[in-house]
Amino acid sequence: MKKILIVSYGMGCGGAEKSLISFLGRLPVKWNVDLIVANPNGMYMKQIPDTVHFLDKQYELENFATPLKLRRRKVCGINDLINQIRWQAGSGFLYHHLSRNEKRWELWGKFLHAPKEEYDLAISYMNGPTNYYVIDKINARKKVLWIHNEFEKLDVNYEYERKYYQKADKVVTVSQDCADSFARVYPDFIDKTIILENISSPDTIWSSAHSIPDDEYFQYDGVKILSVGRLSPQKGYEIAIDAAMNLKKRGIRFLWYVLGEGELRAELEKSIAKNGLIGQIKLIGIKENPYPYIAHCDVFVQTSHYEGKSIALDEAKILHKPILTTNYATVASSIVNEVNGLIVDMNGESVSDGLVRLIEDESLGKKLIRNLENEKNGNEEEIEKYIDLIEGLLDE
């Protein structure tokens, strides 16, 4: 039986993690599949299918990837202690030309113990530290590295990253725009770059959307706005706050829920309070089932600065919701302006103007919904391309 290792950085609320769960659940049982999660926390941990062997107790790797308060063992041995000291002592003045992830790998990750197991194929399902781990630490005959975002938007040192992608047998991106971005940086890697879209299942999404949580959102009689995504700089929630201020000034009654968690929570809460929006914007954290919220919103809004191929937009399309999104570089892979959504400039005024259009022009919203109902949304058949990739590499 062929042995495959898949490595993920975490199992939080992101689209990549959600796609990974869909991928794992559809892998044929003819392969022996191991899974390592560097930071073994997050809502998707309990959704890892039984057909996959989760390799728990990777404490050295966990301490490297996980915030101190979430680590099961703060120090798991002398090597781990030395690694942590080296990082604390050297991170302030060494490797200034590298990103934080790259620097952390040089000072800490490179000294992790390597697993003894041998594999036919190893997959890093997230760009960044899991790429370094698979290339430097895993003994596998073939290796695949995934990229879930527009590469040119990532905080990386191109020369540092080159040596890792150079050693990969295949590089997977999630859209043509992401592949083009990667090719502009590394044109010599075009031949080993392929596109595999994140997997979305309409049947699963629709069946999960019917339950109604006990939440004020579902009884609210004003305009219900929804955004879904990690509370991080990438998602542009400062734009959402500016837009909400404009809506409030125009006298529009609305409740804007944000589903997600992340490092900007405290900063965003402070901004919401400072701008008098506590009653209008609510950061409600991670919801294991976000689909009732999407199904019952009046407008789904994405204010991102950049994306790869947005699963959140794909899910809103599947549920036939009016969508407003900013004009980030890869948005055309998901939305056609004025056809299945509105694309607006990346600022609060443009977002609020677009929202007012959707609120006041019922015919526009109905047109977008009608077009979405006539679209083929969802791509469960994409799993066949995943399997073809794996089989092709295993047969080489």
Mean pLDDT calculated for residue range 122-129: 94
Distance of CA 124 to the CA centre of its chain: 14
On whether both 192 and 209 belong to a single domain, the answer is: no
3-state helix, strand, coil in the chain (%, to 5): 45, 20, 35
Is the predicted pLDDT of residue 168 greater than 80, yes or no?
Answer: yes
Distance CA(83)–CA(378), nearest Å, equals: 44
178: number of CA atoms within 13 Å, CB side?
25
Distance CA(123)–CA(271), nearest Å, equals: 40
Distance CA(150)–CA(165), nearest Å, equals: 15
CATH number at residue 239: 3.40.50.2000
On whether both 212 and 310 belong to a single domain, the answer is: yes
Grade residue 105 by pLDDT with cuts at 50, 70 and 90: very high
**Residue 251 one-letter amino acid:** G
Q: What are phi and psi of 145, to 5 degrees?
A: -115, 135
Residue where the block lists tokens 């430097």: 136
Distance CA(143)–CA(24), nearest Å, equals: 17
On whether both 78 and 99 belong to a single domain, the answer is: yes
Query: Which pLDDT does position 384 carry in this prediction?
Result: 93
Convert the pLDDT of each residue in 18-31 to its tens digit. Answer: 889 989 988 999 99
Distance CA(235)–CA(218), nearest Å, equals: 24
Query: Which pLDDT does position 288 carry in this prediction?
Result: 84
Distance CA(182)–CA(147), nearest Å, equals: 9
On whether both 26 and 95 belong to a single domain, the answer is: yes
On whether both 211 and 180 belong to a single domain, the answer is: no
- Look up the pTM and report it: 0.86
Query: Which pLDDT does position 318 carry in this prediction?
Result: 95
The DSSP 8-state label assigned to residue 2 in this structure reads -
On whether both 222 and 273 belong to a single domain, the answer is: yes
Convert the pLDDT of each residue in 254-294 to its tens digit. Answer: 999 999 999 999 999 999 999 999 999 999 998 888 999 99
On whether both 166 and 260 belong to a single domain, the answer is: no
171 bridge partner residues: 145, 193
On whether both 363 and 386 belong to a single domain, the answer is: no
Query: Which pLDDT does position 43 carry in this prediction?
Result: 82
On whether both 169 and 262 belong to a single domain, the answer is: no
Q: At what angle do helices 100-107 and 78-90 cross, to 10 degrees?
A: 130
Is the predicted pLDDT of residue 13 greater than 80, yes or no?
Answer: no
Q: Write a three-state SS string for 292-309.
A: HHHHHCCEEEECCCCCCC
Query: Which pLDDT does position 382 carry in this prediction?
Result: 87
Convert the pLDDT of each residue in 171-214 to its tens digit. Answer: 999 999 999 999 999 999 999 999 999 888 888 889 889 888 99
Query: Which pLDDT does position 201 carry in this prediction?
Result: 81
Query: Which pLDDT does position 381 carry in this prediction?
Result: 84
Number of domains in the chain: 2
326 Rama class: left (phi>0) / alpha (psi -120 to 50) / beta: beta
Q: What are phi and psi of 53, to 5 degrees?
A: -90, 105
Mean pLDDT calculated for residue range 367-388: 91
On whether both 195 and 206 belong to a single domain, the answer is: no
Distance CA(362)–CA(299), nearest Å, equals: 12
- The range of the structural domain enclosing residue 274 comes to 202-374
Distance of CA 271 to the CA centre of its chain: 24
Task: Name every residue whose Cβ is closer than 8 Å to that of residue 65 and which is 6 or more positions away in sequence.
Answer: 9, 10, 38, 39, 129
Convert the pLDDT of each residue in 204-244 to its tens digit. Answer: 889 889 888 999 999 999 999 999 999 999 999 999 999 99
On whether both 122 and 144 belong to a single domain, the answer is: yes
259 bridge partner residues: 228, 285
Grade residue 374 by pLDDT with cuts at 50, 70 and 90: very high
On whether both 127 and 236 belong to a single domain, the answer is: no
